[in-house]
Amino acid sequence: MNVLSVASEVYPLVKTGGLADVVGALPSALLPHGIRVRTLVPGYPAVLHKLKKKKAVGGIDNLFGHPARMLAAEYDGLDLLVLDQPELYARDGGPYLDTTGRDYPDNFRRFAALSLAAAEIAGDSVVPGWKPDLVHVHDWQTALTPVYMRFGSAADMPTVMTIHNIAFQGQFGASVFPELSLPPEAFSMQFVEYYGDVGFLKGGLQTATAITTVSPSYAQEILTPEFGMGLEGLLASRVGSLSGIVNGIDAATWNPETDPLIPQNYAHGTLKRRAANRRVLEERFGLDKGPGPIFCVISRLTWQKGIDLLAQVTDDIVALGGKLIVLGSGDAALEGALMAAASRHRGHIGMVIGYDEPLSHLMQAGSDAILIPSRFEPCGLTQLYGLRYGCVPIVARTGGLTDTVIDANEAALAARVATGFQFQPVTADGLRLAIRRAMHAYKEPKVWARLQNQGMKSDVSWAKSAERYASLYSGLLAKG
């Protein structure tokens, strides 16, 4: 089976969040099932720079007013197609934002072009000699692909639309519609019209053969007004085509036994070696040496991630004898609140603004617990990394966090299956209580070690999830 995966980012070439990790890891996980994935991504400067060996395999003479080349390359086990159109992608900023942090005003055109190119590939008019059996698209940036396919030569080819975060929908004013190279009938409720605007994600959800989200709980949550972000009615009408498949992680990249980014490697049952990583963390974040757990946060600093709740409990963490380290960036007010806490509690709270991949590995390998107080979380990956590294997750009871962490209640502790702490309601008081529960468990070394080891035994790889995707693909092709 040949699958075309279409995404706006892919690790390790370009990454702004978990989407890139998923798109980068799934192809190798599907290979044992006889599924060969080619991944189409935009030709951002960072992508073209890293791909030293690439060749033109086709092109589009006129893609929204300019010619585009299709390049083929291999990188870190990925089979890639790259849409090279400098007018759209040769920018100094990131994939979505300019150097001032603002959305590119032509993002609608940039990602419509990516979707249209994918549809043309599916129609066998761009890459001679290669045609997919199925197309899998990710998030709003590629959601117009099944819409273009519906009006093109690949109308009968199955498509899968994965929602990584329904909060980001790609909604633009109706004035952009004439520029999208779609027939007039596409501006209707059956396709892209959304409350008088153009809805990229809405169009994909309306036309894809199957819809997936990145955890079973999130698949249920987005059917409700609280989490559906206005699309719950559409999703309810398509509930028979909706499923939740929890994300996995790249178990080779995130492996505490072999990780080259941490000072001391260790395995299940050898947790004392983590102390060496803790010492490096203390130095890196300017923490006082001494007892007490280190809680870490590796996150975008936003309301969705519950960072305002974290800011309200920083004093409590220190008062209880804990320490806190934070890696991330985001909302300026939240950054300021955490920096103020670090200033109040020098030696007990440390912070690094930005993102640092090696440091994120070290924090999982040396911290005692990771805090994830998200108000909604489609899947989440940092809790999976925490489980893998024996960094006990403390998570809000929502979405994929619910599906992947077993709460340390009395029954789970007695059965020796607990892997972390869940809390609800998702409030400062809820988070505060979860931290108190964790502190109580931390004071019993055998209990804490059991939590760590049980988490490290969890299967957080892509194996089971890849099997579910393979089954989904096969079922769609069988219905053909």
Binding residues for ADP-alpha-D-glucose: 15
Query: What span, in angstroms and rounded, lies between the C-alpha atoms of 205 and 107?
Result: 19
Would you say 373 and 306 are in contact if contact means Cβ atoms under 8 Å apart? yes
Burial grade of 234 (CB within 10 A; 0-12, 13-18, 19 or more): middle
Residue 87 corresponds to which tokens in the numbers above?
């007018």
Query: What span, in angstroms and rounded, lies between the C-alpha atoms of 99 and 77?
Result: 31
Would you say 23 and 11 are in contact if contact means Cβ atoms under 8 Å apart? yes
Would you say 27 and 55 are in contact if contact means Cβ atoms under 8 Å apart? no
How many angstroms from the chain centroid is the CA of residue 176? 28
Secondary structure class of 351 (helix, strand, coil): strand
Residue 241 corresponds to which tokens in the numbers above?
């085509």
Based on its alpha-carbon atoms, the radius of gyration of the chain, rounded to whole angstroms, reads 23
Looking at residue 10, the DSSP 8-state letter turns out to be: B
Query: What span, in angstroms and rounded, lies between the C-alpha atoms of 278 and 173?
Result: 51
Query: What span, in angstroms and rounded, lies between the C-alpha atoms of 281 and 352?
Result: 12
Burial grade of 462 (CB within 10 A; 0-12, 13-18, 19 or more): buried
Query: What span, in angstroms and rounded, lies between the C-alpha atoms of 293 and 369?
Result: 7
Q: What residue type is assigned to position 413 of the chain?
A: L
- On the CB side of 268, CA atoms within 13 Å amount to 11
Please give the annotated binding residues, written as ranges.
15
